[in-house]
Amino acid sequence: RAWLTDRNGVCWIGTFSNGLNRLDVTDTTFTRYINQKGNPQSLSHNIVLSLCEQWQNGKQYIWVGTADGLNRFDVQSQTFRRIGQAEGLINGVVYSIQKDTNGMLWLTTNKGLHRFNPADTTFINYSVEDGLQNMEFNVSAACMAPNGEMYIGGVNGFNRFHPLRLPVNRVPPPVVITGFQLFNKPAVWRAPLTLRYDQNVFSFEYAALSFPAPQKNRYAFKMEGFDRDWIDAGTRRFTTYTNLDPGVYTFRVKASNHDGLWNEEGVRLPLIITPPPWRSPWAYLLYVLLLFFLYRSGKWAVANRKSILALRKRRLSHYKILERIGEGGLATVFRAVDTNTDKIVALKLLKKELSNDPENRRRFHNEGRILSGLDHPHLVRTYEMGQVGDEMFIAMEYLPGPTLARYHKDNAPLPEGEVIRLARQILDGLQLIHNNRIIHRDLKTANIMFDADNKLRIMDFGLAKSHLSSMMTASGTLMGTLGFVAPEQISSAQVDHRVDIFSFGVILYEMLTGKLPFYGENEMALIHTIFSARPVPPVMTRPDLHPDWDAIVARCLAKQPEERYRQCAEIRNDLDTIYRERNHAPAR
């Protein structure tokens, strides 16, 4: 993958899966450097894509670009220093590294061109808005001419530029808070901001006063007293908080201009949330009395522990558990009977070993809240969500199955008419989800199941994102299932409902051809195909298919969101056209 002969005649070889190798030509001995789990001074990833030598103050360094960030290898101490997203590298797949005459490093990735200053570990990022041929580049497709000009090659041509002639904005941008919303409505505010305990959904808008390229200004925010670290907001200019405990906080925002120069001080807004009445002295006296009652009750519970445990094994609230029918990463699903109505239900329980993590509890609660507000023949119905002790549960409609994944495995490839029938049902359910401003984010055949009437129901909204949801995951976390997710989900970019349209395109391709459109020998190879590969058109795999399938699938699987269908209804119209032409009948 990469080769470098340094000033001392030593050869450095980067491999696709076996890390970095050093060849001493004097005695033909190899030294291998690989990723060591738990050792932050080892190589960050065993896929090495690019190499560059640099000398500073008489010390030799080898810069190593991997599939997971940039590394500086100190030849003398034999240690690596990792540079990744925390230092400002917005994409970790480093395809090439070039050093200019001022000692700056120029990197190409899947998210554009980046100038890295080794002296202060800062980045300046360049995109198509600066003239790049594309945001994606190719491995080792970079060089520097004798006159100092650089050439970098990507998926849509190449760029030529002189590093010393690119202007840099060295003025930190002033940062201001431009608006405040309470329950998603504009509200009057002043510093310090004081809110009642029940005013628990509020939003801030902010801006950096740097105007050469305002769309590239970046932001980070932090609620001191709640957030432990800064939260990278990218180019998004607003944030929402929900259900903060009463107390004293400080909301802070910092920003950078389009060349990556940050105003670290930013702006501060003091925030006070007043406590509710039940935190009064009389309330605390009542709590003491309740604790005494609980103590006496606890003594009784200990004396009757065996009978209580036996009862808990059989029942949860008014549900009698019959058998386990499924399990996911977050929850276990049981077939149960509602003793109030004698109805069979699917009872979803948050796993006990995960219930202590507030993040998992919020995700589970979010799924129940989203499902309770939806009613559609192609979405799983929710009857109730609740909590008994530390156990959280969601009671849902029981579906006999199978899942679409199992049905497809047993019958692939599906007849064209059956694909149209099933695709329409998925699109109808998905359209309602999107109409309610909800993004599923984990749409796949394993999360779609047949009901008793042989109709499909979309389920498993554990990763769904709606306008009601607070921020539930750290920046950079992959939300979804690799192979079905859109490129922007992998790169942690801002996403909208078109990620579901991309996932639907994967499902459609799989139903038509019997296989997934993207594949690879390992995770990194699969990610590479999702970003760069064009799937084989379905009609080339199945010549009996209608020729319009190729265009439908290609538009769903477009790399750029703006090139995909805007709404599920548009896809359904194109499917109806195929149905009419095949059957000479009006679409249903």
Helix (H) or strand (E) holding 502: helix 498-513
CATH for 240 = 2.60.40.10
Asked whether residue 136 falls in the same domain as residue 252, the answer is no
Q: Quick check: is 286 in a domain?
A: no
If asked whether residues 83 and 139 sit together in one domain, one would say yes
8 A C-beta contact, residue 238 and residue 206: yes
- At 197, the amino acid letter reads Y
What would the pLDDT profile of 91-131 be if each residue is shown by its tens digit? 999 999 999 999 999 999 999 999 999 998 888 888 888 88
Residue 471 in this model has a pLDDT that exceeds 50: no
Distance CA 255, CA 234 (A): 9
- Whether 65 shows a pLDDT value over 90: the answer reads yes
Looking at residues 279-291, what average pLDDT do you find?
A: 86
Q: How far is CA 415 from the centre of its chain?
A: 34
More confident residue, 326 or 514: 514
Cα separation, 521 vs 93, in Å, equals: 17
pLDDT over 70, % of the chain = 94
pLDDT at 469 (0 to 100): 36
Q: pLDDT value at position 371? A: 72
pLDDT of residue 501 exceeding 60: yes
- Mean pLDDT across the chain: 88
Determine, yes or no, domain membership for 20.
yes
Structural domain ending residue among the three candidates 125, 147, 165 = 165
Domain harbouring 43, CATH code: 2.130.10.10
Q: Pick 171 or 315 by higher pLDDT.
A: 171
Say if residue 431 is in the same domain as residue 575. Answer: yes
Residues 497 and 557 in one domain: yes
For the chain, the 3-state helix, strand and coil shares in percent, each to the nearest 5, are 25, 35, 40
Say if 120 falls within a structural domain.
yes
**Does an H or E element contain 428, and which?**
helix 416-435
pLDDT class of 462 with cuts at 50, 70, 90? low
Higher pLDDT, 582 or 303: 582
Q: For residue 470, name the pLDDT band (cuts at 50, 70, 90).
A: very low
Residue 36 scores a pLDDT above 50: yes
Contact 23, 32 (CB under 8 A): no
Residues 152, 22 share a domain: yes
Q: Averaging pLDDT over each range in 162-176, 195-209, 311-325, 341-355, which range is the top one?
A: 195-209
Extended beta strands in 425-561, E state? 438-439, 448-450, 456-458, 465-466
Residue 382 has pLDDT above 90, yes or no: no
Distance (Å, whole) CA 286 – CA 323: 42
Among the ranges given (312-321, 424-433, 464-473), the one the predictor scored with the smallest mean pLDDT: 464-473
- Looking at residue 569, its amino acid is A
Residues 109 and 15 in one domain: yes
In a domain, 282, yes or no: no
What's the mean pLDDT in 467-490?
Answer: 59
* The predicted structure's pLDDT at residue 464: 47
Enter the tokens of residue 349: 């329980």
Q: Residue type for 78, please?
A: Q
- Among residues 442, 451, 548, 550, which one is catalytic? 442
C-alpha span between 269 and 254 (Å, rounded)? 12
pLDDT in tens, 203-248: 999 999 988 888 889 999 999 999 999 999 989 999 999 999 999 9
Phi-psi region of 441 (alpha: psi -120 to 50; beta: other; left: phi over 0): left
Q: What is the pLDDT of residue 424?
A: 94
pLDDT at 473: 38
SS3 20: strand
Name the pLDDT band for 513 (thresholds 50, 70, 90): very high
Tell me the average pLDDT across 271-280: 88
Bigger pLDDT: 20 or 390?
A: 20
With 50 as the cut, is the pLDDT of residue 171 above it?
yes
Q: Phi and psi (nearest 5°) for 569?
A: -60, -35
* Listed residues 374, 397, 420: the one ending a domain: 397
Q: Which two tokens stand for residue 181?
A: 């919303």
Examine residue 297 and state whether it is found in any structural domain, yes or no: no
Q: Rounded to whole angstroms, what are the CA distances from 488 to 157, 430, 518?
A: 22, 19, 15
Question: What is the model's pLDDT at position 357?
Answer: 83
- Assess whether pLDDT exceeds 70 at residue 311: no
For residue 483, what pLDDT is reported?
84
Q: Give the number of domains in the chain.
A: 4
Residue 187 reports pLDDT greater than 80: yes
Residue 538 has pLDDT above 90, yes or no: yes
Contact 342, 353 (CB under 8 A): no
Residue 204 lies in a domain: yes
- pLDDT-above-90 percentage for the chain: 55
pLDDT of residue 299: 81
What are the distances in angstroms from CA 81 to CA 72, 114, 350, 398? Answer: 5, 18, 39, 52
Residue 79, domain member (yes or no): yes
| CATH number of the domain that residue 455 is part of | 1.10.510.10
379/519 same-domain check = no
- Residue from 425, 399, 420, 384 nearest 511 by CA: 420
Calculate mean pLDDT across residues 496-523.
Answer: 91
Task: Classify residue 498: in a domain, yes or no.
Answer: yes
Do both 543 and 424 map to the same domain?
Answer: yes
Over range 66-82, report the average pLDDT: 96
pLDDT for position 468: 35
Whether residues 444 and 379 fall in one domain? no
Q: Copy the structure tokens of residue 291.
A: 């604790």
442 part of the active site: yes
Under 8 Å between Cβ of 169 and 125:
no
- Is the domain of 86 the same as that of 191? no
Same domain, 73 and 156: yes
Domain boundary among 368, 397, 426: 397
Span 126-147, mean pLDDT? Answer: 92
Do 408 and 509 fall into the same domain?
yes
Domain containing 338: what range? Answer: 304-397
Task: Specify whether the CB–CB gap between 172 and 257 falls below 8 A.
Answer: yes
